[in-house]
A and B are shown apart, each in its own frame.
Chain A
Amino acid sequence: MKDSRDRGGWITLALILATLALWEAIVRVRDIPPYLLPAPSQVLSTLVEHRGAYAAATALTLAEALAGLFLGAFAGSLVAILLSLFPRLEQGVLTLAVFIKYTPLVAIAPLLTIWLGFGVLPKVIITALLTFFPVLVNMLSGLHSADQALLDTLRSWHASRLEIFRHVRAPSSMPYLFAALKVSGPLALIGAVIAEWTGASGGLGRTMWLAYTNLNLPFLFAAVFVLAAAGMILYALIDRAERRLIFWGPRRL
């Protein structure tokens, strides 16, 4: 198990290196100018040169994404739990949630920036909104997914709704929560970047916007690289938390 995971990691690394090598070769052979497509080596040297600025921008964007992720996951789980306890509310609340979900992000982000300024808050709200919906929907199916035989056993003891929730429904829904977080993690990062793009005092989105308006492609590509790496780190964090929290039996999702 562990071996095959390690091997998977090596294969991924090899693929990434091969792609970069090919990219470098094409840029050099065809002599493509850096304002169209910079070579990976040039992107890398830009990155190293401005490492302090990139580190600060990444830290800010990751923090915004994580804060929004927590907030959205918390709110989504809470609403899902309430709906599972009071199922009559489900239809109405879900309709509202779908409405939020289909309101385009690029429309809300500038509004929030106008209302709330260039600070961290609008970014956190955007990522929280992005996380909220998948967590709500997944947690709801998770809470409903509990094994009927387990529910019956607790019912035969005349367990209260709260006891059934605590001992059966909540643990049953954990794999579903993490499935939602794995989808939302990268989304949250993108959400934070888009929100920054509409106006921010820092962060990777702000870096990209500056590079874009100056047509500084090496700078832009460096930000994209860092963003991809940050996404992988976020995913790994969520994956590790999942392994620790869902320790029983085979992984189902």
Chain B
Amino acid sequence: MIEIRVDGLAHRYADNGSALWALRDVAFQVEPGEFVAIVGRSGCGKSTLLRILAGLTRPSRGTVLLGGMTARQARAEKQVAWMAQSPALLPWKRVSDNVALAQRVNPRPERRAPDVDSLLRLVGLESFAQAYPAALSGGMQQRAALARTLALGARLWLMDEPFASLDALTREELTAELLDLWHTFRPTALWVTHDIYEAVRLADRVLVLGSRPGRLQAEVCVQLPRPRDETDPAFALTVQQIRRALEAAE
């Protein structure tokens, strides 16, 4: 478990000379072990925010502290499991080798992490362990990438739309499995999604990002017991609340 503190964060991509800020004045905190979803329109800076937290992009301004460490330090400690928006599987490695690679590179032998086989079973790819990524559908590749991210056994999850190319039923099944895993290992989670229902199903709190420049628009706490029932009127109410915040964010 690790807490997130983001303060005065702003980012502008240097190569497009225009003074367009991808992120501006973003500040928030996430408690250790909290599950926070981030929603916002396309292009509002969600991926940028996650990349900064993962230590892949240096922000133009502001500070990021992950359990007291800078993003780079946390990365060096392999505390962060970042999942890219694209599956990013190595085409020359079998699915199981792709997943195992997350544990073999910069290894942390002392760490308690789920093993490769059980992760492949979790995402329903146990019979494709020996396949190469080219033989997998888009959604299957995304599930393999999810298994690989979980294999890190990291204390912080940074997931960029991990369910984007999955059908509704697979999403719901995976949601349940994933929450099980989250309960077992209790990482802090930041979960980017376009699906408001998914956000309410998973998160303790939902951050709504506005666009151009990306900034924090609203914050909605989800005070519903897990597992969550979508037919519950309180569920629908929370969804409504987020939806309105998103519409106001234009």
| Contacts from A to B (Cβ < 8 Å) | 147, 149-150, 152-160, 163, 167-168, 171, 247-250
Say whether B88 contacts A147, CB under 8 Å.
yes
State which residues 42-100 of B face A: CB under 8 Å.
51, 54-56, 75-76, 78, 80, 82, 84, 86, 88, 90-93
Q: State in angstroms the CA–CA spacing of A248 and B133 once bound together.
A: 8
- With contacts A156-B54, A156-B75 known, is A149 near B86, CB below 8 A? yes
6 examples of A-B residue contacts, CB within 8 angstroms = A157-B105, A158-B76, A171-B90, A171-B91, A247-B132, A250-B134
Say whether B102 contacts A152, CB under 8 Å.
no
Interchain CB contact (< 8 A) of A248 among B56, B75, B106, B134: B134
- Which residues of chain A have C-beta atoms less than 8 A from B80's C-beta? 156
Interface size on B, residues (CB 8 A): 24
- Which residues of chain B have C-beta atoms less than 8 A from A149's C-beta? 84, 86, 88
Q: State in angstroms the CA–CA spacing of A248 and B94 once bound together.
A: 10
Interchain CB contact (< 8 A) of A249 among B78, B84, B105, B132: B132
Interchain CB contact (< 8 A) of B90 among A150, A155, A157, A250: A150
- Which residues of chain A have C-beta atoms less than 8 A from B102's C-beta? 157
Say whether B88 contacts A157, CB under 8 Å.
no
Closest to B135 in A: A249
Interchain CB contact (< 8 A) of A159 among B55, B86, B105: B105
- Which residues of chain A have C-beta atoms less than 8 A from B132's C-beta? 247-249
Q: State in angstroms the CA–CA spacing of A155 and B132 once bound together.
A: 22
- Which residues of chain B have C-beta atoms less than 8 A from A247's C-beta? 92, 132
Q: B147 interface residue, CB < 8 Å from A? A: no
Closest to A153 in B: B88
Q: State in angstroms the CA–CA spacing of A157 and B81 once bound together.
A: 8
Say whether A158 contacts B88, CB under 8 Å.
no
Q: State in angstroms the CA–CA spacing of A156 and B132 once bound together.
A: 23
A243 CB, min distance to chain B CBs, angstroms: 14
Say whether A157 contacts B56, CB under 8 Å.
no
Q: B152 interface residue, CB < 8 Å from A? A: yes
- Which residues of chain A have C-beta atoms less than 8 A from B51's C-beta? 152
Q: State in angstroms the CA–CA spacing of A103 and B18 once bound together.
A: 46
Q: State in angstroms the CA–CA spacing of A163 and B104 once bound together.
A: 10
Closest 4 CB pairs of A and B: A149-B88, A249-B134, A156-B82, A248-B91
A166 CB, min distance to chain B CBs, angstroms: 10
Q: State in angstroms the CA–CA spacing of A159 and B80 once bound together.
A: 13
Q: B101 interface residue, CB < 8 Å from A? A: yes
- Which residues of chain B have C-beta atoms less than 8 A from A157's C-beta? 78, 102, 105-106, 152
Give the interface centre of B54, B105, B134 by most chain A CB atoms within 10 Å: B105
Say whether B84 contacts A153, CB under 8 Å.
yes
Say whether B92 contacts A248, CB under 8 Å.
yes
Say whether A171 contacts B92, CB under 8 Å.
yes
- Which residues of chain B have C-beta atoms less than 8 A from A159's C-beta? 105-106
Say whether A155 contacts B56, CB under 8 Å.
yes
Closest to A156 in B: B82
Q: State in angstroms the CA–CA spacing of A171 and B78 once bound together.
A: 24
Per-residue interface assignment for chain B, residues 136 to 176, with 1 indicating a CB less than 8 Å from any chain A CB and 0 otherwise = 00000000000000001000000000000000000000000
B144 CB, min distance to chain A CBs, angstroms: 12
A103 CB, min distance to chain B CBs, angstroms: 37
Other than A152-B84, A154-B105, A158-B78, give 19 A-B pairs with Cβ distance below 8 A: A149-B84, A149-B88, A150-B88, A156-B55, A156-B75, A156-B82, A157-B78, A157-B102, A157-B152, A159-B106, A163-B106, A167-B93, A167-B105, A171-B91, A171-B92, A248-B91, A249-B91, A249-B133, A249-B134
- Which residues of chain B have C-beta atoms less than 8 A from A249's C-beta? 91, 132-134
A175 CB, min distance to chain B CBs, angstroms: 11
Say whether B90 contacts A156, CB under 8 Å.
no
Q: State in angstroms the CA–CA spacing of A168 and B93 once bound together.
A: 10
State which residues 96-143 of B face A: CB under 8 Å.
101-102, 105-106, 132-134
A114 CB, min distance to chain B CBs, angstroms: 47
- With contacts A160-B106, A163-B106, A249-B91 known, is A152 near B134, CB below 8 A? no
Say whether B90 contacts A167, CB under 8 Å.
yes
Say whether B105 contacts A163, CB under 8 Å.
yes
Q: State in angstroms the CA–CA spacing of A150 and B141 once bound together.
A: 14
- With contacts A157-B152, A158-B76, A249-B134 known, is A167 near B101, CB below 8 A? yes
A55 CB, min distance to chain B CBs, angstroms: 39
Closest to B57 in A: A152
B149 CB, min distance to chain A CBs, angstroms: 9
- Which residues of chain A have C-beta atoms less than 8 A from B90's C-beta? 150, 167-168, 171
Q: State in angstroms the CA–CA spacing of A160 and B51 once bound together.
A: 19
